[in-house]
């Protein structure tokens, strides 16, 4: 019988290449057919290893879900960026490789990010998701998120609706 260790830990600069790979894979999987192809490619190409290394070095809060020796996903979070919402923290991104989705790992990564925000005094938090991203919408609703706002984001010549979900205390 073998045991696989699963942990959530802070990203290190040496994780930059793996983070770029996860970002590339998960964004293509998540947004193909939602965000126009050329715009999606631009967004992905901006997040290479150098970008991730810089983000970690500057102190961005990036947590990794590690399954055995493999990086399975990440969450990036910090202070809420939307001044119009009275929430202190925000989870900017939470992505898992497709083979790790639907197994409870997303919930574990989300909970770790929330705990870290709360430990820093950010008792409530918000997450934005594109409305066409059905998996994310279902996921955040299943975690008890309340739909609290709507907005839109433009990708090239396409405007996409997005929803904010909030959690208190």
Domains and CATH numbers, the chain: 6-167 (3.40.630.30)
pLDDT in tens, 90-101: 999 999 999 999
pLDDT in tens, 156-167: 999 999 999 999
Please check the confidence at residue 4 and state whether its pLDDT lies above 90: no
The yes-or-no verdict on residue 1 having pLDDT over 90 is: no
Tell me the average pLDDT across 99-113: 96
Residue 36 CB burial class (10 angstroms; 0-12, 13-18, ≥19): middle
Task: Name, in order, each residue with C-beta under 8 angstroms of 75's C-beta and a sequence gap of 6 or more.
Answer: 62, 63, 91, 93, 94, 95, 109, 110, 112, 113
Place of tokens 């290893």: 49
Are 89 and 122 spatial neighbours (Cβ–Cβ below 8 Å)?
Answer: yes
Please report the beta strands in the chain, taking only residues with DSSP state E, as ranges in sequence order: 6-10, 61-67, 70-79, 89-96, 125-130, 146-155, 158-167
Residue 137 three-state SS: helix
Regarding beta strands 146-155 and 70-79, do their DSSP bridges make them parallel or antiparallel, or are they unpaired? Answer: unpaired
Question: What number is the average pLDDT over the span 125-138?
Answer: 97
pLDDT single digits (tens) 17-71: 999 999 999 999 999 999 999 999 999 999 999 999 999 999 999 999 999 989 9
pTM for this predicted structure: 0.94
- Residue % of the chain over a pLDDT of 90: 95
The pLDDT of residue 62 is 98
pLDDT tens for 9-31 read 999 999 999 999 999 999 999 99
Strand partners, 161: 152
């Amino acid at each position: 019988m073998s045991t696989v260790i699963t942990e959530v830990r802070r990203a290190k600069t040496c994780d930059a290449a793996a983070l770029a790979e996860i970002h590339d894979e998960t964004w293509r999987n998540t947004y193909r057919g939602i965000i126009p192809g050329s715009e999606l490619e631009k967004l992905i190409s901006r997040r290479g290893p150098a970008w991730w290394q810089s983000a970690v070095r500057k102190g961005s809060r990036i947590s990794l879900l590690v399954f055995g020796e493999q990086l399975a996903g990440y969450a990036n979070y910090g202070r809420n960026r939307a001044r119009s919402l009275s929430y202190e923290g925000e989870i900017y991104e939470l992505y898992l490789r497709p083979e790790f989705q639907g197994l409870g790992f997303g919930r574990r990564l989300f909970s770790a990010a929330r705990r870290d925000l709360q430990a820093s005094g950010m008792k409530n938090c918000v997450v934005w998701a594109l409305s066409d991203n059905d998996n994310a919408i279902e996921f955040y609703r299943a975690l008890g998120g309340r739909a609290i706002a709507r907005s839109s984001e433009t990708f090239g010549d396409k405007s996409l609706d997005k929803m904010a979900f909030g959690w208190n205390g």
